Amino acid sequence: MINMNVMKAPALVFTILLLGGCVSFMPDYQRPEAPVDTDWPVNENPNYSIYPVEYSTASSSTAVPAASSSSATHTPTTSKTAMPAVSPYSDWRNFVRNDKLKQVVEQALYNNRDVRIAVLNILKAEAQYGSQRANLFPNIDVTASGANQRLSENINNGNSTVSRQYSVDLGITNYEIDFWGRISSLEKQALELYLSSIEGRRNTQLTLVSSVIEAYLTLMTDQALLRLANETLVSQQSSLDLTIKSFNNGVATGLDVAQAKTTVATALKDVARFTSQVNVDINALNVLVGKTVPMHLLPQASDSIQFAPIYVGMPSDVLLQRPDILAAEHELIAANANIGAARAAYFPTISLTATGGLLSASASDLFSSDSRSWVFTPALSLPIFNWGELDAREDVAIADQQIALNNYEKTIQTAFREVADALANQATLKDQVAAQQMLVDATGDSFRLSNLRFNEGVDDYFTVLDSQRSYYTAQQDLLTTKLSKELNLLTLYKVLGGGWVETDVPLPDGLDLNSE
């Protein structure tokens, strides 16, 4: 006849498991109101596009940036043709219009160590979440054991005895029933930290894409400055030769020769300086890419880079799309869940041990029907005197939640300021480039006229030297101003949260997380 107590035990265990997790002390989460204005501070209409022009590093002062001939989705009144505006959240390949640069960025996404670390952080957080989630369910284990013992004559009235016991058990050991939601709160915390790590990877890749493009543009500009320095060196060396010839013929003075030599020395110094800077730029690009960039992918004198225009929407769009803001919100939700776990610690901990199996003094009778056995051991632990430890833990959890809240709000405010700054700069940098181009043209005319007047004997060489320096400096400033304009557009694209795309990043060599 079957013992009814044996039949009731599994049902009782099952009922207790169903009751677990019916209470939660996690505070209800509501997304905090964004502590920023609803509109960008630069335009009454927040929905507008910014239209860049072609970025070229040609050193000629007469070069004029050429606009794209593609049709535009939103056409400004000041331009007849423009490229289609792209959403800042689209693939970065829609923003960058240069095949060589695209290949460099793709290599960086595949090889960069920061991206690999971000992927490993996701795998780590995923494993931690899986470990915490497993605590919601009981571990069911099978154990088999055998014990043999001989009692000596000295403790058994002069008779030695041998006892044997064999057992096979299947059951649950020390399973905490989640009546108060402590374990589910910790599981929620681990989940949100895992989701935050995913956003962290997005932010890492977004930053990498922007950094590689910035390094590439900087390299192009320094290469252009080096070409300008070489062109100036050739021109000034020729001028020095003519001045020395004039001095030998009694037309020029020794002062004229000395002044001409200063321009050659300046050009020589700049050639050396920009040669070094180009090499430094290449080294920086190699580190970002994670490997040596092939020579055929490095920028050449004839290369140009073109960016698509960006459609700038409402601030709320930025707040919903930037991965660093999403990561901060997941961390806030995780801290919120941790408060629930801290509050649940005030209540009794109920654990359960329940096993059923076979127990016999003889191995030959172990699997007989008479060897059946079971153990059901519920346990309750209620904190009474803890000297403020639980209160302190709750205070820590609340403080962590407030820290996460302020970090979330600060991240939003920082994002708003970064976009507003980029928009404000973009509005004036186009005018700066145009004004600098006018300055280049004017100083170029001044240099040519002063050189002509010197050759005619009207002015001394000091006037030529001064105008030449102004012209050379204006050409350098034009290149750096163009770079600032394009880097600002790149910054705008980045701070709007765009450019991230999923990539299959390989794990470091020798690491296999699926190995047994």
pLDDT digits (tens, 9 = 90+) for 349-399: 888 888 877 777 677 676 777 777 878 888 888 888 888 888 999 999 999
The dihedral region occupied by 21, where left means phi > 0, alpha psi between -120 and 50, and beta the remainder, is left
pLDDT at res. 97 = 86
Q: Is residue 147 part of a domain?
A: no
Domain that holds residue 406: 31-136+178-347+382-495
Q: Is residue 327 part of a domain?
A: yes
**What is the rounded distance in angstroms from the CA atom of residue 291 to the CA atom of residue 262?**
41
CATH code of the domain in which 460 resides: 1.20.1600.10
User: From residue 183, how far is each of 81, 165, 323 by CA, in Å?
Assistant: 60, 37, 28
Q: What is the mean pLDDT of residues 187-202?
A: 92
Which ranges constitute the DSSP H helices of 290-388?
315-321, 323-344
Q: Report the percentage of the chain scoring pLDDT > 90.
A: 30
pLDDT at res. 457 = 73
Q: Is the pLDDT of residue 294 over 80?
A: yes
pTM for the model stands at: 0.78
The dihedral region occupied by 239, where left means phi > 0, alpha psi between -120 and 50, and beta the remainder, is alpha
User: From residue 73, how far is each of 309, 430, 432, 474 by CA, in Å?
Assistant: 10, 21, 26, 36
**What is the rounded distance in angstroms from the CA atom of residue 146 to the CA atom of residue 126?**
39
Q: Is residue 26 part of a domain?
A: no
Q: Is residue 297 part of a domain?
A: yes
Angle at 390 between CA 387 and CA 395, to 5 degrees: 115
Q: Is residue 10 part of a domain?
A: no
Q: Total domain count for the chain?
A: 1
pLDDT range class, residue 479, cuts 50, 70, 90 = very high
Angle at 233 between CA 229 and CA 239, to 5 degrees: 145
Q: Is residue 418 part of a domain?
A: yes
Identify the weakest region by mean pLDDT among 65-79, 112-126, 209-223: 65-79
Tell which wins on pLDDT, 64 or 444: 444
Q: Is residue 168 part of a domain?
A: no
**What is the rounded distance in angstroms from the CA atom of residue 444 to the CA atom of residue 441?**
5
Q: Is residue 425 part of a domain?
A: yes
**What is the rounded distance in angstroms from the CA atom of residue 190 to the CA atom of residue 298?**
44
What is the phi/psi pair of residue 289, to 5°?
-75, -30
